[in-house]
Structure 1
Amino acid sequence: MLRRLTLPQLLFGAVLGIAGGIYIYQPILEQYSRDQKELKGKVKLLQESEEKRN
């Protein structure tokens, strides 16, 4: 009664798992990317304002 999974079934399951993970975590990764870009912009502005002071 115990059947093993065939290679195509394993590959299909792996692809579905990876695609599902990307689908679920995509909004989190996009938010992280936006936050990092925003922080880089703020750091650049702070550096420019410090250079003007000196």
Structure 2
Amino acid sequence: MLGRLTLPQLLFATVLGIAGGVYIYQPIFEQYSRDQKELKEKVKLLQESEEKRN
């Protein structure tokens, strides 16, 4: 036994903590994903416009 918590209790608390963190920070992850998609689209448009100029 690790202190006052048994191993299953410790594992459950760890899983619960990780799941809670993912739930809380999910909007930040989604915003980052949207920003990256927009950035890729802008880069693609810039490359296409430069190819047309040349």
TM-score by length of 1: 0.92
Q: Which runs of 5+ in 1 are unaligned?
A: none
- RMSD over equivalenced CA pairs, Å: 0.8
Q: How many residues end up aligned between the 2 structures? A: 52
Q: Which residue identity does 1:23 align to in structure 2?
A: Y
Q: Residue 5 of structure 1: SS of its match in structure 2? A: coil
Q: Residue 4 of structure 1: SS of its match in structure 2? A: coil
Determine the structure 2 residue equivalent to 1:15: 15
Q: Distance in 2 between matches of 1:7 and 1:27?
A: 32
Per-residue deviation at 1:9?
A: 0.4
Q: Residue 4 of structure 2: SS of its match in structure 1? A: coil
Determine the structure 2 residue equivalent to 1:45: 45
- Identical columns (%): 88
**Deviation beyond 6 Å, 4+ runs, structure 1:** none
Q: Distance in 2 between matches of 1:47 and 1:8?
A: 55
Q: Which runs of 5+ in 2 are unaligned?
A: none
TM-score by length of 2: 0.92
